Structure 1
Amino acid sequence: MEIKIVDNIAETDIKADVLILPFTEDYKGAVYSKLDEQTGSLIKRVFETKEFTGKHAELTLIHTTTGRVVLVGLGKAADITSEKLRRAGGKVFFSKYLKAANVSSAALSTAVLRELGQLKGAKYAPAFYFVEGVLLSRYEFKRYKKPEKEQRADIKTLTVLGSGAFGNSDGSIKWLDTVVPASSFARDLVNTPSSDMTPAILAETAKSLAGKRVKVKVLDAEAAKKEGMWSYLSVAKGSEEPPKFIVIEYKGGKGAPVAIIGKSITFDSGGISLKPADGMEKMKYDMAGGAAALGIVKAVSALALPINLIAVLPTTENMPGGNATRPGDVVTAITGKTIEILNTDAEGRLVLADAIGYAIKHYKPAVIIDMATLTGACSIALGNEAIAMMGNNEALMDNLKKASAETYERVWQMPLYEEYKDYLKSDIADIKNIGGRTGGLVTAAYFLSEFVDDTPWVHLDIASTANADKDKPYICKGATGIGVRLIMSYLLNYD
């Protein structure tokens, strides 16, 4: 959908199939007085009859002689946040009013939004967040569905009234044009069934991102063996699909790169430690970290950010089979550390350990951020509302918290106490890959901390947020693309 920002066109003069009017509960009737005259005071009437009050995400449709007008509530002005604006924007575009067959263009009045001024803690103007919610809500995954007999609306243009509506329009428009599509790109990858998103296919997808500043290389099993990545390879042993260790370099600046490590298990059966059948179909989402990493590379490249970045995707399936790793096996990671594998379903930390070790060995990054659907314990601790964050650098985590507040891809810091090391002591190896039933969320992260040395590092467990089991205000059921907007907000302010 094309976003147009226009000036000197009033709500009474705009030509669009639908005009969207945001309102607060405090609305007094002055802003749209001329438009209301044109509608025969219909706006005034719906307020007087309490059919519309301006409560958050409340919608009302009125028909006028010039077309449809949708009223959307923002809530009380004092309570409005950037996230509430996203949700209001998503709600109106999710609604039946904008999915009618003959709606192909929409216009957004920003008069009330401009009256709000700069919201506390927000980087952009209020209209930006409303439109961001609009764009995020328009995502649909229809690859495997027959075309509908009656095609719903495909809104091609959203005209934003008021040239100053976005504040710093250059930066905000670039974000909307690049980061939201990058999030949708990641969602497509995660939503694709594992039969059509194998390690080889994911590797080809990564190669498609290559360009002037972006180089992609893919290590096969033999190359991984030469690197000594036996921890990663242990996960791949049971599958007929060859593993692909994907490394992407983006060069846009000077100095040591930021390393993004994305868990990329394209299907996770649990291996010999087989998962229950109930819900196993969702294990195509186990490459959500890698998908987010690819979305980040795509957006960073499009914005030509002045940084150096590497993305490492240790890609494989985790399957049972005659060659599969068995519980009790011991493997050696790229760092030389030996790992006793007590549960083959704790495979994510095995592939990440070698990915982290590879990044440090070959690139000596300034910062490492890993994203992984790592533990079911994350959902137990935080439900489906937040990313669990752990790391060894408070400044890095503080910056991610700021990015979290801006994007509402929320993080919640969990502890990494030294005592957790005792949970992972092995009788026969340097470390074991699980620490028992208690503390599963944090012991998984502590396992990874054993491979980062002194490099500033943060682990983001996205297991509870990578997939939505039901529609949310601007995110439909399925893959959420979590991590793309969060990390991009962090990188935009990276110094």
Structure 2
Amino acid sequence: MKVYLKRESIERHKTGCLVVGAFEGKKPEGLAKVIDKRLNGLIAKLFKDKDFEGKPNQIRLIYTQGKLPAERVLLVGFGKEKDFKIEKLRQASGNSTKAVRDLGLKKFSTALAQVKIKKVSDYEISKAVTEGGILSLYDFTSYRTEKREEIKKVDEIALLVEKEDKEIKKGLDDAVKISEAVYIARDMINHPANTATPTYLAEQAKRIAKKSGIRCKILDRADMERLKMGALLAVARGSDEPPKFIIMEYSGGKKGEPPVLIAGKGLTFDSGGISIKPSEKMEEMKHDMAGGAAAICAIKAAADLKLPVNVIALIPATENMPSGKADKPGDVVKAMSGKTIEVISTDAEGRMILADALTYGERYKPKAVIDLATLTGACIIALGYHASGLLGNDKDLIEAIKKAGEKSGERVWELPLWEEYEEQNKSDIADVKNVGGRGGGTITAAAFLKKFAGKFKWAHLDIAGTVWEYNGKPYIPKGAVGVGVRLLVEYLRSQKPEARSQKSE
């Protein structure tokens, strides 16, 4: 898809369809007012008759009948101006872009990048409009064989602007690169588990690394055994698919500067193991590797954007399957850290494989550690489907992730991680057990991970409720969301190079 800037007056611009935003009110303002004058008051009449009121994401198509060079004008509502923020602009761009696609048009122009938001830069506005448009058009068609000719696609989007400066162009270019990373993450997650195996994830990581200039190393079972990754190997025992441990390193910062470490859960299918899940909706467990996909694609985006930060991504990848070789409830395994874990439920496997990933990550002496995983159904009970759970041991890191969530539209909500919750994970026969009971399940899962995070600044993102979209949102179609990619990129963008230097092992 081609997305580009076009500097031209809306009154002179020739296009099949021109998207224009309008705030909620009694009459058109701004660009809508300019167009209304050329259309002899048609938009004003729509407002007056309440056929279009500018409410959030409201859509109205107008045929200009030769009164403008644009054949059609698509109005999209912004809502009330006092409530208008960057996320609403992103949504308006997504909804309007989908509406144009549904018209069967291959090309169109949008004037949404000309809107002004208080204390928001032209870069952020251009980026949001481009992201909203591109992300809304995602369509997973890999397995469709019938009626492919009916699939509608947009090939070209022009951002109509008053000035063509570097910041606006950079906003567009960055959004294209970030959106590409989100597309790849969505593809990985949408693929069924007989395609997206641990080996597939490793191959995708190597391909991405080669293209984006990232170092990549894959550890096999023998390597894990040598490193004594007992927790990861215990989960992998039940599957015939070989486990993989994916290591990706991007060096955009100064040599020797401590990296940000991202650990993503790469459970390519989770049956629950011996503690098997109910059959209903088990097919959705193909997306249990979404944290791993986000980690791979976030480091890709960081490299493509040439962010001045060092980043490490670690993805433990395996299936969790029942078999005669599978780990069992009551087993005790020794993690890479040397700590022993009593397995209460084999369906609490995500924290097990992340425990070894966090221990492996210690060798990099990271300045911050962020893990993300579809870890607990309890997080969906607590927060629903609109926010990821956030827990950690460092206030500044937590606040930085919150800000990144607000800016990217991938919102998070902090849950407590008090010492009292750690009591629930105490085992009578081992150092820790992998389930702390029903109460506070999201928190006790994080408390388990905290035990393996060491003394580093660490945050945990539980994306169980935000990984999948069931109904479709303005720029998030049904299916995989690719959640975490834009959030992590926004966090990495906020990082400033440190003055001190520390060599990693």
Shorter-normalised TM range: over 0.9
Q: Which moved more, 1:324-333 or 1:15-24?
A: 15-24
User: For the Cα contact (< 8 Å) 1:331–1:339, is it kept in 2?
Assistant: yes
Residue of structure 1 in register with 2:476 after alignment: 475
Residue of structure 1 in register with 2:95 after alignment: 91
Aligned ranges 1:220-299 → 2 under 5 Å: 220-254=220-254, 255-299=257-301
Shift of 1:235: 0.2
Q: How far apart are the structure 2 equivalents of 1:83 and 1:30?
A: 20
Picking from 342, 345, 356, the partner of 1:343 is 345
Aligned ranges 1:171-250 → 2 under 5 Å: 171-211=170-210, 213-250=213-250
Q: How far apart are the structure 2 equivalents of 1:439 and 1:34?
A: 55
Q: How far apart are the structure 1 equivalents of 2:144 and 2:213?
A: 36
Shift of 1:34: 5.5
Q: Which moved more, 1:13-22 or 1:377-386?
A: 13-22
Residue of structure 2 in register with 1:81 after alignment: 85
After superposition, what is the alpha-carbon deviation per residue over 1:57-96, rounded to whole angstroms, capped at 9, x for unaligned? 111111123412111111121121111112211211222x
Shift of 1:14: 1.6
Write the letter of the residue equivalent to 1:242.
Answer: P
Percentage of matched positions with identical amino acids:
43
User: For the Cα contact (< 8 Å) 1:378–1:461, is it kept in 2?
Assistant: yes
Aligned ranges 1:284-363 → 2 under 5 Å: 284-360=286-362, 362-363=363-364
Q: How far apart are the structure 2 equivalents of 1:252 and 1:131?
A: 25
Q: How far apart are the structure 2 equivalents of 1:484 and 1:150?
A: 31
User: For the Cα contact (< 8 Å) 1:127–1:165, is it kept in 2?
Assistant: no
* Partner SS state of residue 419, structure 2: coil
Q: How far apart are the structure 2 equivalents of 1:422 and 1:153?
A: 55
Q: How far apart are the structure 2 equivalents of 1:303 and 1:59?
A: 34
Q: How far apart are the structure 2 equivalents of 1:175 and 1:36?
A: 33
Shift of 1:371: 0.5
* Partner SS state of residue 427, structure 1: coil
* Partner SS state of residue 370, structure 1: strand
Q: How far apart are the structure 2 equivalents of 1:19 and 1:398?
A: 39
User: For the Cα contact (< 8 Å) 1:24–1:76, is it kept in 2?
Assistant: yes
Shift of 1:152: 4.5
Shift of 1:380: 0.6
* Partner SS state of residue 275, structure 2: coil
* Partner SS state of residue 380, structure 1: helix
Residue of structure 2 in register with 1:20 after alignment: 19
Residue of structure 1 in register with 2:501 after alignment: none
Shift of 1:165: 7.8
Shift of 1:150: 4.7
User: For the Cα contact (< 8 Å) 1:126–1:166, is it kept in 2?
Assistant: no
Q: Which moved more, 1:422-431 or 1:117-126?
A: 117-126
Q: Does the C-alpha gap of structure 1 residues 123 and 278 become closer, same or farther in structure 2, counting only changes over 3 Å? A: farther
Q: Which moved more, 1:341-350 or 1:177-186?
A: 177-186
* Partner SS state of residue 13, structure 1: coil
Shift of 1:118: 3.2
* Partner SS state of residue 369, structure 2: strand
Q: How far apart are the structure 2 equivalents of 1:30 and 1:463?
A: 41
Shift of 1:46: 2.2
Residue of structure 2 in register with 1:428 after alignment: 429
* Partner SS state of residue 304, structure 2: helix
Shift of 1:25: 2.1
Residue of structure 2 in register with 1:59 after alignment: 59
User: For the Cα contact (< 8 Å) 1:82–1:119, is it kept in 2?
Assistant: no
Shift of 1:166: 8.3
Q: How far apart are the structure 2 equivalents of 1:491 and 1:261?
A: 14
User: For the Cα contact (< 8 Å) 1:246–1:314, is it kept in 2?
Assistant: yes
Q: Does the C-alpha gap of structure 1 residues 218 and 126 become closer, same or farther in structure 2, counting only changes over 3 Å? A: closer
Shift of 1:260: 0.5
Q: Does the C-alpha gap of structure 1 residues 491 and 422 become closer, same or farther in structure 2, counting only changes over 3 Å? A: same
Q: How far apart are the structure 1 equivalents of 2:168 and 2:125?
A: 12
TM-score under structure 1 length normalisation: 0.94
The CA RMSD measured in Å over matched residues stands at: 1.9
Q: How far apart are the structure 2 equivalents of 1:30 and 1:471?
A: 30
